Amino acid sequence: MVRYAEPGTVEWVESGGGPLVAVPEAVLPFWTGADGEETASDYDRACEVDGLLGLLPVGDATALVLGDEPAATAFLPEHGTLVRWIAGDSEAELLASVPAALHTARWQPEVHWKVPGTVVLFDAAWPGTGSTGTDQVSLTLAAGRYAVRAARVQPGPETWLVLVQLRPLP
């Protein structure tokens, strides 16, 4: 797998070409990835998500699918935001653009996502039990409901990113 992100400031997750998925740790064994024995695997279901994000049932919980195009993705907990690197000259430049991008973003309609706690972000092609040791990152989230919204932004002439913001609901 080609790595586009630079090592350093944050942990980036990349896919082999398909969507990324954030699956609650509690239901990781139920995510079959591309190995499903059904007509449509979990990976197939994730690939059918139209747009920047979507929700899919997994066990007794729900996974968040980051659709559209594969892109290196990092979680910035201080902003409650997943940042997807579409184009940019450097990690530092891209990350520095996030605060302003959050204020100018034109957000798509939000979805509501209920999580039981920590979720794991990884390539949707991998089975949940096989995601350890792959390109993944854990997102420590408090159990509860979140409003999730996404926006494609261009904070600079050569910088493009997708923001996926997770806001706790009361």
Query: How much is the mean pLDDT over the chain?
Result: 90
Query: Is the predicted pLDDT of residue 46 greater than 60, yes or no?
Result: yes
Give the pLDDT band of residue 66 (cuts 50, 70, 90): very high
Among candidates 71, 73, 13, 23, which has minimal Cα distance to 43?
A: 23
Q: Assign 37 a pLDDT band (cuts: 50, 70, 90).
A: low
Q: What is the pLDDT of residue 2?
A: 35
Q: What is the per-residue pLDDT for 5?
A: 46
What is the average per-residue pLDDT within 14-39? 88
Among the residue ranges 7-16, 21-30, 145-154, the one predicted with the least confidence is 7-16
Query: Quick count: other Cβ atoms within 10 Å of Cβ 108?
Result: 14
Mean predicted confidence (pLDDT) in 102-119: 96
Integer angstrom CA distances of residue 15 from 38, 43, 93, 98, 156:
23, 12, 22, 22, 25
Query: How confident is residue 8, by pLDDT bands cut at 50, 70 and 90?
Result: low
pLDDT at 10: 87
Task: Give the model's pLDDT for residue 131.
Answer: 59
Closest Cα partner for 25 from 63, 55, 66, 56? 63
**Confidence at residue 150, expressed as pLDDT on a 0 to 100 scale:** 98
The whole-number average pLDDT for the span 138-145 is: 96
Q: Where are the domains of the chain?
A: 20-168
Provide the percentage of residues in the chain whose pLDDT is more than 70: 89
Q: Which residue has the tokens 């209920």?
A: 114
What pLDDT sits at residue 135?
A: 83
Query: What is the average pLDDT across 80-88?
Result: 95
